[in-house]
Amino acid sequence: MSGPLKGLKVIEFGGIGPGPFCAMLLSDMGADVIRLDRKAEKGKDRGEGAFLASGRRGVLHRGRRSVAVDLKDPQDKEKVLQLIDGADAIIEGYRPGVMERLGLGPDVLLARHPRLVYGRMTGWGQDGPMAQAAGHDINYIALSGALSTIGRAQGGPVAPPAMIGDLGGGGMMLAFGIVCALLEARNSGKGQVVDAAIVDGAALLTSIVCDLKSLGLWQNKLQSNLLDGGAHFYDTYECADGQWISIGSLEPQFYTLLLEKLGITDPDFALSRQRDPAAWPGLKRKIADIFRSQPSSHWRALLEGTDVCFAPVLTLEEAAQHPHNRARGTFFEREGILQPAPAPRFSRTVPGQPGPSPYIGEHDDEILK
């Protein structure tokens, strides 16, 4: 095990989505993460997406060890407490109050282990009127304001697949919070609770929109703004072969190069009108016709790697085969499963390729006994 977090020990109380993603990020960076799975699930393949055909967990569970426990069993609970006594941090993603009812709340664990960082992952947070309500990614990003900024004018808001809320606003923020608290504990000698709410993290990710609104450059109307597909020079376009490409020619010099590459001499595309929202709908129709006139291979040969700010819209499988991603090792396969490699990169404490996802309870003998 290698990486900048080598030597860090984390106990993960089994959950779904953002909690496992947080644990994956820490494990990818070298932390020793032990996942506590439910004993009742040991040996079962429920056919869910979280399990591979082999019975192993999926991508979000890679690189860590699994023990199966019953948190309501006094003997198992004592083993868990002993594991936590030797840990630097824990991750739990239950509704507020569940860990307290199990006798594993922050008051109990921090009294036993004052330096412990207690990471809590919820949708709505540990307090507030909605703290006990059920929810999913789409609900959290809706309440945060993020969902209102994504979508097509004719189709309404469109939720990305659990990336902005669960992963970006949830798991990634919790991982950041845990590392922050661990750094602080080095000086104070004291642990603390990290309350990571997906709605809070998703709201934080809207900072760029808040900035644009403060400058008068954003209105609450889909596809009417600089960065939401409203501008003709910042959007995706369909090609003659049904494939899609992306253009992001924001700066004047990049926009000028785009016009040169496409052979556009129409005065309606003059640089003086680039940032005029009133002109965007008409210009978008014209440039869409241009891109629709040739297959994506034509536009890739003409524009890829230039300062036009261009990229083809690729599937995950296509992305893994792109020369740039292959050169950087952005994706890898394990047991036939395509997955992204750890990020970011480090010059000295280089993380190794993550280990496989465990079977539930695979490491019981190794850890519990």
Which residues are marked as active site? 136, 166
Count of other CB atoms within 10 angstroms of residue 179:
20
Cα–Cα distance between 137 and 139 in angstroms, integer? 5
Distance, CA of 145 to CA of 199 (rounded, Å): 9
Task: Kindly provide the b/e burial profile for residues 43-72, where b requires at least 16 CB atoms within 10 angstroms of the residue's own CB.
Answer: eeeeeeebbbeeebbebbbbbbbbbbbebe
Residues 244, 245, 246, 247, CA torsion sign:
negative
CA-based nearest residue to 178, from 104, 91, 97, 106: 91
* H runs (alpha helix) in the chain: 18-28, 74-85, 98-101, 106-112, 137-144, 172-188, 198-204, 207-214, 252-262, 280-291, 296-303, 316-321, 323-328, 364-368
Token reading at 185: 């504990």
